Structure 1
Amino acid sequence: MRALVTGGTGFVGGALVRALVAGGAQVRVLARPTSQTEALETLGVEIVRGDILVRASIKAALAGCDTLFHAAALYDLWGLDEAELLATETEGTRNAMEAALAVGVAKVVYTSTAACIGEAKGQIATETTVHRGYFLSNYEKAKYAAEQVAFAYVDKGVPLICVQPAAIYGPGDRKPSGRFIINLLNGWVPALFSGWMSLVYIDDAAQRHVLAAENGQIGERYILAGTVGKLTELGRLVCR
């Protein structure tokens, strides 16, 4: 496999790069000019500077690759501006799909999120769940919109496979899931809601991206989830 990874300097993308390298893939990472890439370079990964918001840079980076992993994203449930999130997610995804279409790759694995499935209260989410019709966060809204953009390219010929990770946790996580665990351990979470939460360990999520590229069906979604439990139970487990 000759793969281009967007978002390779991030938490999920970095783990994906490590999994790909461990499996013998030739890996190229599209990284912004200001991104730190030393850890990736020690893996023997090729770094190409560019930006997902510049379509030409994705197309140039994708040349010679047979697989695109589009894992670049802004992840913040509430803190980021809605317009900024929507623009980055939708335009970045559109640019990635256009580049994949132009180059003619064999597979595109798009990292969405289980947060945008939008199951109704009391409903168990599946890959075919119909969205409830309203959003619980700007992040959910932006990722839902980006996923619609991605799937619109299936009919145009993009060999898209969509993975929807649950809340990802593991070493090096500085995003909401990781911050929540740290805050919980420090006693900064005054109370836990009685709802349920799905989690997936970072290395498992990364490996399932690889499996999606190898075995996934074009035009399908795959939820990536491991542990499922009540928030109160997960909180007690973390604090042991």
Structure 2
Amino acid sequence: MTAALPPDYRTLAGQRCLVTGAAGFIGGALLRRLAGYGLDVTGSVLHQAEAEVLRRQGFQTQVLDLASNADWDATLRGIDVVFNVAAMFQETDQPEAMYDRVNHLGALRLAETALRLGTHRFIQCSTVGVHGHVREIPARETTPFNPMDLYHRTKLAGELALMELARRTDPASMAITAIRPAMVYGPGDMRMLKLFRTILAGRFVMIGSGRVWTHLGHVEDNVDAMLLAAVAPAASVHGEAFNIASDEPMQLAPLVELIAREGGVKPPQLRVPVAPVWTAGLAVELLCRPFGWRPPLSRRRVGFFTHDRAFDLSKARHLLGYRSRWPHAEGVRDTIAAYRAQGLVAAAPAPAQYRPATSG
């Protein structure tokens, strides 16, 4: 069923859009939103099998590999707005050169091709991970970069290359904007599933104090931000990057308690120190690396418990008109309901039965 195009996005009417990475979480949500408004949108995916699945669901789909040397002219000709969400992420069997080929060089070549063929908006999905373990709370877009792993390093390289292209490009020709999503979650997300699953099953163990800052970003808020970047005045968003998250930052321990409360279970109490777990994560990484296995425990996973992530959204509010529509409590509740509907997390506990006192 087609939804009415909101007034905020009315300038997208009649435009042709391309969403890369449409088989993924964010890209898929963006594809569904644009198609749901009745707009002319094509999703690109990495594999033919993914394309066939989306076509059966009624979406226009093409195969596009950012690592390839293929000619993309046919895909990009006539496209007015490109949302580049495709990226290489958590592929443990790939070297950094391949990450760079996709997240940096591929993104840049896609933008250069789009510019040559007359696309007038290019929205790059970057990541707040370019700031890493942030050096000021809350982090702004100008906070020093501090990427912590190869994914974040190569996403930063791609963003910087696009910002350099923007400096050489008239916004009247093509406005280039980077959206940096925070810790994205919501129905359909698999990255945060382990956190929700362990909390709701009573198996969660806090590593460290739980006092680090974290900042969730509901997937629909991120979709809003990308759409706003596509319709904002070109001169105000050209060559600009925006950190995007939902609601307000909160410390990790209260977040865990929120998930437990919304899931109807007791908040977890067990804590362990960071150092031995970090050392174990390094050992597991070294053991798995020769086989190309994804380590079940890694330093990156431990970083979730030790790295501060909190973001100032004032720039996005001012230049994009962005407003989070998803308070954390509502988003967590929405996510738990979706996980339970799919049988991915423990079912809601049965309500306690009232038993009247009996006399002896």
C-alpha deviation, 1:37, in angstroms: 3.4
The answer to whether structure 1 residue 206 and structure 2 residue 223 are counterparts is: yes
Q: Kindly report the root-mean-square deviation, in angstroms, between the aligned alpha carbons of the 2 structures.
A: 2.4
Aligned counterpart in structure 2 of residue 150 of structure 1, from 150, 162, 168: 162
2:6 maps to none
Aligned counterpart in structure 2 of residue 237 of structure 1, from 258, 267, 270: 258
C-alpha deviation, 1:28, in angstroms: 0.9
How many angstroms apart in 1 are the aligned matches of 2:93 and 2:190? 14
Deviation string, structure 1 residues 101-152 (Cα, Å, up to 9, x no partner) = 2212110010001111346434321122232xx4322222121111112212
Q: Is the 8 A contact 2:179 2:244 kept in 1?
A: yes
Residues matched between the structures, number: 237
**TM-score normalised by length of structure 1:** 0.87
1:219 maps to 239
Aligned counterpart in structure 1 of residue 188 of structure 2, from 158, 172, 179: 172
How many angstroms apart in 2 are the aligned matches of 1:43 and 1:215? 31
How many angstroms apart in 1 are the aligned matches of 2:227 and 2:243? 14
Q: Is the 8 A contact 2:167 2:239 kept in 1?
A: no
Higher relative contact order (CA 8 A, sep 6+): 1
How many angstroms apart in 1 are the aligned matches of 2:159 and 2:219? 21
Aligned counterpart in structure 2 of residue 126 of structure 1, from 116, 123, 140: 140
2:101 maps to 87
CA shift in 2, pair 1:149/1:182, >3 Å: farther
Q: Is the 8 A contact 1:21 1:43 kept in 2?
A: no
The answer to whether structure 1 residue 102 and structure 2 residue 116 are counterparts is: yes
**TM-score normalised by length of structure 2:** 0.60
Structure 1 window deviating more from structure 2 (78-87 vs 97-106): it is: 78-87
CA shift in 2, pair 1:142/1:183, >3 Å: farther
C-alpha deviation, 1:189, in angstroms: 3.7
Listed as ranges, the gaps of 5+ residues in structure 2 are 1-14, 262-360
How many angstroms apart in 1 are the aligned matches of 2:64 and 2:143? 36
The answer to whether structure 1 residue 185 and structure 2 residue 200 are counterparts is: yes
SS at match of 2:156: helix
Name whichever structure is richer in strand by fraction: 1
Give matches, 1:47-86, under 5 Å.
Answer: 47-54=61-68, 56-76=70-90, 81-86=95-100
How many angstroms apart in 1 are the aligned matches of 2:89 and 2:198? 18
Q: Is the 8 A contact 1:15 1:206 kept in 2?
A: yes
Q: Is the 8 A contact 2:23 2:45 kept in 1?
A: yes
